[in-house]
Structure 1
Amino acid sequence: MGRVAALGERSRVLGLSLAGAVVLVAEDDRAVRRVWRSLPDGIDLVILTPAAAQALEPELATPGGGRPLTVVMPP
């Protein structure tokens, strides 16, 4: 079974560590893109905050094989 990561602002993702998610804190667009490019191995699903999803919009719009599945938290 693959691992789940949560990417975005600390206040929105920290609690997901209690469910076993790998928490990847990124407070601004630049940090989100940097963390996205260096995701740990074995991550199959990334839960994104709305701000993180917006920062990654160009990357997520481009079809890319091998990239993890993503889902965006509600606002």
Structure 2
Amino acid sequence: MGAVAAIGERTRVAGFALAGVTVLVAERPQEVLDAWADLPEGTALVIVTPAAARALGPERLAATRPLTAVMP
């Protein structure tokens, strides 16, 4: 099983660290893109906030690797 990461605003993703998720805080669109580019090797699932999803765009979200889930 691969690693899990979360990208987005600190207030929305910080709690995932308690479950062992790699948390990449990104408050602005460019920070989101930089975090995506810096995902640890072997990341299988990325949880993103709605704001991060908008910054990433539909093409990245539609990719099958890594699997991406947008928080409600």
Specify every segment of 5 or more residues in structure 2 that has no aligned partner in the other structure, as ranges: none
Specify every segment of 5 or more residues in structure 1 that has no aligned partner in the other structure, as ranges: none
Aligned to 1:52, the other structure's residue is in SS state helix
- For 1:34 and 1:11, the matched residues in 2 are separated by 19
The CA RMSD measured in Å over matched residues stands at: 1.6
Deviation at 1:19, TM superposition (A): 1.1
Aligned to 1:45, the other structure's residue is in SS state strand
The ranges of structure 1 where at least 4 consecutive aligned residues each deviate by more than 2 angstroms after the TM superposition are none
Q: Does 1:9 align with 2:41?
A: no
- For 1:20 and 1:64, the matched residues in 2 are separated by 24
Q: How many residue pairs get matched?
A: 72
Deviation at 1:12, TM superposition (A): 0.3
- Please tell me whether Structure 1 or Structure 2 has the larger radius of gyration of its CA atoms: 1
Taking structure 1 as the reference length, what is the TM-score of the superposition? 0.86
- For 1:70 and 1:64, the matched residues in 2 are separated by 8
- What is the identity percentage for the equivalent residue pairs of Structure 1 and Structure 2? 60
Aligned to 1:27, the other structure's residue is in SS state coil
